[in-house]
Amino acid sequence: MVIISTIFSLSSGHILGVWLGLELNMLSFISFSIQSKNFNEVEAGLKYFLIQALGSGFWLLGSFLFYLSMGSWFLFETIVDFNNLIGLENIFCMAKVIMMWGLFMKLGAFPIYFWVPSVMNEMSWFSCIILATWQKFIPLILLSYLIGPETFFLGIIVSVMSSLVGGVGGLNQTRLRVLMAYSSIGHLGWMIGLMYMSWIGVMVYYGVYFVVSLSVFLFLWLFEFSSFMQVTGWRMWGKSMLILFSLNFFSLAGLPPFLGFMSKWVALQAMVNSGSYFLGCGLLVGALMNLYYYTIVVMNVSV
Amino acid sequence: MFGMFSSGSGWKFSSLGVLGWDSMSMSLIFLVFWISGMMMMASYSLESKGSSYMFYSLVYLLTVILFLCFSIMNMFYFYLVFEASLIPTLMLILGWGYQPERLQAGSYMLMYTVSASLPLLMGVLCVYSLFGGINFFSVVYVDSLMTEGIYMSVFMLSLMLAFLVKLPMYFTHLWLPKAHVEAPVAGSMVLAGVLLKLGGYGLMRMMSFFWGGFHTVYSVVGILSLWGAMITSLICLRQSDVKSLIAYSSVAHMGLLIGGLMSGVYWGWEGSLIIMLAHGVCSSGLFALAGLSYDILSSRSVVVNKGMLVLLPSLTFWWFLLSVCNLAGPPSLNLVGELFLISSILSYSDYLCFVIGVLSLFAAGYSLYLYVSTQHGKVSLYMNSTVINLSGRVNSMFFFHWVPLNLIIFKVDL
């Protein structure tokens, strides 16, 4: 159902159809994430529901404003001609900003990122995987239709701040789910910033992030880790497993010889080519802090 | 052997697609293979502990990565393998180090080098978008007017910073003593012998790429690292840990190297290459000695490592020869390198003679301190004072450390 709703949402041209897909996606995700009837999972599902419903609400509000200014419900086929928009540019920009705001909320980007760690902390590892990877797909694609030069400043601020928050938030964590939540916020910052430079780049980044974080999450899931106290028992699984585990984390951090570096490379190349050096520097600082707490995890494992 | 590739005074160059070699990279590649062999000989005791398979694979991997590093011409690929060399080193420290503090040392090393090399990545991408080419052997003649201005200085500094941390320069050296103290013998040997030289190599390549373009940054970096080297040689005198002392001594030597390189004359260039080779072999040998003493005495402290002349007379011989080389005693390659460097630094500014004087004096001082405090004196009461004979393997290892130092001096036009 999660997959079907994603396809539905992304293939409908009508804004309200997209909205329907978003809601369906949220409901189906909640329904399988609270299967175990554990109280914590229900609480996490409730938090997730509230935030996502609010995000969809913003999307709906923005789409009405969009219709008001453009006279069209079709987000993707409409050619924005500012000459026809005299007097309505403000409404049009506001519509865009409100829709983007809703999507940032659904993604868990900078201003409204608080829910991601607390929701992921209480979910099962499988739901965490879906939340950190698959659930980012629709909002990212929709975001890519909305971005434009008039929202550049907003996007850059959100991107850099998400990256920094993702770095700072994870520094003192001992719970691995929260740590992975902050790491996903950090990577989200990279994707949002990259979106202004290159669309292909975002797809590469998303694909690489999907694969690498999937392998990290699967490790954590299979060995049922949730905090550092449990991680330290690596002697049960031997040296080669330990090395694989650490290499996965280094790959997620984007250290050069690994796959994760490719996404960083693509992103930085796009940023340097379009001349936004400071965006690149800000994101790199966030990525360094990410690397720092991944290193702490690896060090804890290899005691 | 080195002379074979540099016969005559020409700057020979051969290339194979992405890879290319001139006499500088060729001599450093020889250093890589030489030190790797020594690493295997020094870690012979691992055979009995059963973890040798993975250890040897890591050493092989590191050797291949370093070989690629010294032979790749493309700046971006160079960055890639430059960083890749970090991972096997980290594994060596984490997997075969002695104390729990190795975790802290490993993360120090990782964070210092990675955070300095991310500006390098940005810089390389900028070079690509500004100049359109990132081949090491294509020289960009930078107009000196172009390098005025704060942005250009920051850009140039970002290209050098990764190598300055790797070398390490005085202000960014804190990871090195920690990493050396916690690393196993082979880890310290490769760290001092080859990985530091990677920084020098990268610095020289960057400088030749921007021929004449660094002048605003040259003076600052050169003089800071010379003063840093002086301070470091004073720090060396109050170390109680043998490995830490050797590590700080290599910081001091590298400071001299940066000073010579930043003077911007050809003698400094030649001297840097010579001292990279000399210090690579010499400090690797000293770390092997310290490691062997640790195996026998189970301590790296100079308080316990006393009177080894009684316990290990043949090892004292090697301690003496390698300490003499470390203080740049006469028939050694270090002497040639230091003479080149000192004359190039003095050609840059006469006022630096004070710094260099103190630096050279204390270089002799701490090398003698290292030798005397470990070899002479009374044997610690906790030791069995029976004479231990060295095996042929150990003797030949030190022989191979010492031979290049005192034979290449006959053919220094590398």
Phi, psi of B13, deg, nearest 5 = -145, 130
Size of interface A-B (CB pairs under 8 A): 63
Query: Distance between CA A237 and CA A253 in Å, rounded?
Result: 23
Q: Which of A131, A158, A193 is the last residue of a domain?
A: A131
Q: Which residues of A touch B84 (CB under 8 A)?
A: 256-257
Q: pLDDT category, B385, cuts 50, 70, 90?
A: low
Q: pLDDT category, B355, cuts 50, 70, 90?
A: very high
Q: Which of A96, A131, A166 is the last residue of a domain?
A: A131
Q: Return the structure tokens found at A62.
A: 């923005």
Q: Which pLDDT does position B189 carry in this prediction?
A: 92
Burial class (CB in 10 A: 0-12, 13-18, 19+), A83: exposed
Q: pLDDT category, B5, cuts 50, 70, 90?
A: very low
Ordered DSSP codes for A225-256: --BHHHHT-GGGTHHHHHHHHHHHHHHHHT-T
Q: What is the DSSP letter of B193?
A: I
Question: By 3-state DSSP, what share of chain B in percent is helix, strand and coil, each rounded to 5?
Answer: 75, 5, 20
Domain annotation covers residue B9: no
Is A147 in contact with A155 (CB distance < 8 Å)? yes
- Give B158 to chain A, closest Cα distance, Å: 12
Considering the domain architecture, whether residues A68 and A205 belong to the same structural domain is answered as: no
Domain annotation covers residue B24: yes
Report the DSSP pairing between strands B210-211 and B140-141: parallel
Domain annotation covers residue A272: yes
Contact criterion met (CB < 8 Å) for A291 and B125? no
Considering the domain architecture, whether residues A159 and A124 belong to the same structural domain is answered as: no
Q: Which pLDDT does position A87 carry in this prediction?
A: 67
Report angle CA B140, B146, B148 to the nearest 5 degrees. 130
pTM for this entry: 0.87
Domain annotation covers residue B84: yes
| Each residue's pLDDT tens digit, B188-215 | 999 999 999 999 999 988 887 776 655 6
Q: pLDDT category, B147, cuts 50, 70, 90?
A: low
Nearest chain A residue to B132, by CA: A273
Q: pLDDT category, A121, cuts 50, 70, 90?
A: confident
Which candidate from B87, B121, B122 shows the least CB-CB separation from A257?
Answer: B87
Number of Cβ atoms within 10 Å of the Cβ of A245: 23
Q: Return the structure tokens found at B122.
A: 């940005």
What percentage of chain A reaches a pLDDT higher than 70? 90
Contact criterion met (CB < 8 Å) for B122 and A299? no
Q: Which residues of B touch A250 (CB under 8 A)?
A: 87
Position with higher pLDDT, B388 vs B159: B159
Query: Distance between CA B141 and CA A33 in Å, rounded?
Result: 61
Phi, psi of A96, deg, nearest 5 = -60, -45
Q: Which of A4-18, A260-274, B99-113 has the lowest mean pLDDT?
A: A4-18
Q: pLDDT category, B143, cuts 50, 70, 90?
A: low
| Each residue's pLDDT tens digit, B386-408 | 777 788 888 899 999 999 998 88
Residue A233, pLDDT above cutoff 70: no
Q: Return the structure tokens found at A53.
A: 């419903």
Domain annotation covers residue B3: no
When divided into structural domains, chain B yields a total of: 1
Cis peptide bond N-terminal to B168, omega within 30 = yes
Domain annotation covers residue B7: no
Q: Return the structure tokens found at B261.
A: 């390189």
Instruction: Tell me whether 0.90 is exceeded by the ipTM.
Output: no
Q: Which pLDDT does position B16 carry in this prediction?
A: 66
Contact criterion met (CB < 8 Å) for B122 and A292? no
Q: Which pLDDT does position B329 carry in this prediction?
A: 85
Q: Which pLDDT does position B67 carry in this prediction?
A: 94
Position with higher pLDDT, B295 vs A264: A264
> In chain B, how many H helices and how many E strands?
17, 4
Q: Which pLDDT does position B148 carry in this prediction?
A: 62
Q: Which residues of B touch A251 (CB under 8 A)?
A: none
Considering the domain architecture, whether residues A296 and A179 belong to the same structural domain is answered as: yes
Contact criterion met (CB < 8 Å) for A284 and B100? no
Is A214 in contact with A129 (CB distance < 8 Å)? yes
Considering the domain architecture, whether residues A3 and A115 belong to the same structural domain is answered as: yes
Which candidate from A269, A299, A302 shows the least CB-CB separation from B125?
Answer: A269
Considering the domain architecture, whether residues A170 and A220 belong to the same structural domain is answered as: yes
Considering the domain architecture, whether residues A165 and A123 belong to the same structural domain is answered as: no
The dihedral built from the CA positions of residue B261, B262, B263 and B264, taken in this order, carries a sign that is positive
Considering the domain architecture, whether residues A124 and A185 belong to the same structural domain is answered as: no
Q: Which pLDDT does position B309 carry in this prediction?
A: 85
Domain annotation covers residue A141: no
| Each residue's pLDDT tens digit, B10-50 | 455 666 677 878 888 888 999 999 999 999 888 877 766 66
Contact criterion met (CB < 8 Å) for B125 and A272? yes
Domain annotation covers residue B213: yes
When divided into structural domains, chain A yields a total of: 2
Position with higher pLDDT, A174 vs B227: B227
Which candidate from B82, B86, B94 shows the least CB-CB separation from A302?
Answer: B94
Write A64-67 long-range contacts (CB < 8 A, 24+): A65/A91, A65/A92, A65/A94, A65/A95, A65/A98, A66/A15, A66/A92, A66/A95, A66/A96, A66/A99, A67/A15
Domain annotation covers residue B2: no
Which candidate from A256, A265, A287 shows the least CB-CB separation from B84?
Answer: A256
Residue A77, pLDDT above cutoff 50: yes
Contact criterion met (CB < 8 Å) for B122 and A268? yes
Q: pLDDT category, B342, cuts 50, 70, 90?
A: very high
Q: Which pLDDT does position A141 carry in this prediction?
A: 85
Which candidate from A265, A284, A299 shows the least CB-CB separation from B103?
Answer: A299
Residue B4, pLDDT above cutoff 50: no
Considering the domain architecture, whether residues A123 and A186 belong to the same structural domain is answered as: no
Q: What domain range includes position A257?
A: 147-303
Q: What domain range includes position B22?
A: 14-410
Nearest chain B residue to A294, by CA: B107
Residue B384, pLDDT above cutoff 90: no
Domain annotation covers residue A56: yes
Q: Which residues on chain B place their C-beta less than 8 Å from a C-beta of chain A?
A: 51, 54, 79-84, 86-87, 91, 94-95, 100, 103-104, 106-107, 110-111, 114-115, 118, 121-122, 125-126, 128-129
Average pLDDT, chain B: 85
Rg, C-alpha atoms of chain B: 21
Q: What is the DSSP letter of A169?
A: H
Is A254 in contact with A261 (CB distance < 8 Å)? yes
Considering the domain architecture, whether residues A224 and A94 belong to the same structural domain is answered as: no
Report the DSSP pairing between strands B19-22 and B13-16: antiparallel
Tell me the CA distances in angstroms from B11 to A75, B58, B412, B413, one per residue in order.
63, 34, 14, 11
